[in-house]
Chains A and B, each alone.
Chain A
């Protein structure tokens, strides 16, 4: 092979992927990305605003870190307390609620801890702890993980012991682990519905208000990081809170289940 052919081949490779539009990097949670909603929204966003949104799919903790370091232009996560702290520290200009979905308790169909009969999320968790039934925790500082810890706290339980497995991984990997071990797990609804390896698991508990999961949009503060694309971030925020977004978010279904509920307020 001649040197020239090699060079030609390499240049062809590079050119094939050259992009044109403005790019905006947004850190989002695994649960949002796994829902499949992004794949519906992003092409429309690009069409309407000319912005190519590049998603970094991470846990809430890391998403906020990325915003803090200035490595992304905006953050879309679901952990209110951490978000408010983030804004207070000046890392984002403000916090804008966009939509919510909910968590569900998933577990073995046989339901040894009697979660199905519970009337509140805390009761379901207490049942699992009492039965010492295997429970898989994300253990990765994600929004889902934080929501889970909040529920244990509300139930007055310090989760520890052989039955409590913190895997330190994303939602999908944690669900895989739960499926492999026939364990209980707290999952966002979207990840659960999109999950393909359900094995013996089933949806055992849902609907408690305590399981609601609010997503908020945080544009990274350009005063801290001059390079962030504040204009694009503003345009994206406007789009996400528009009527068009509302229609698309409310209309997104898996099977016949609506996943997200739009609740952005006009400013």
Chain B
């Protein structure tokens, strides 16, 4: 299951990562590969509700499991509040890190009602961003939290 739909991938190699399968075999290039070593978090997806680096998961390991990618986060045209907050706070520049950061923030909000600044930073520490200096990414998370508690 990928983004709520049962998917069959053709031509998957034994050596394919989940990231490669998503991008190259299932036409879901929203998850990004900036290191393919588990260092940057750009490839983050949910696997059975747990945030993972899809570059570190073999495609075969996802067989029969539920995958949620950034493409599946919005409800049709209605953005997830985290996505909207990223836009509104100016947390998106080049956007290459954005799918991963959006999912990491989404995961944090799902786990925490009221995370402290340090907890927010820790939750995002596995995601590299080279453009923003993270300040507006933190703003985005705080904005999403504030909107949720309204």
Q: Do A and B come from one complex?
A: no
Task: Give residues in A with beta carbon < 8 Å to B.
Answer: none
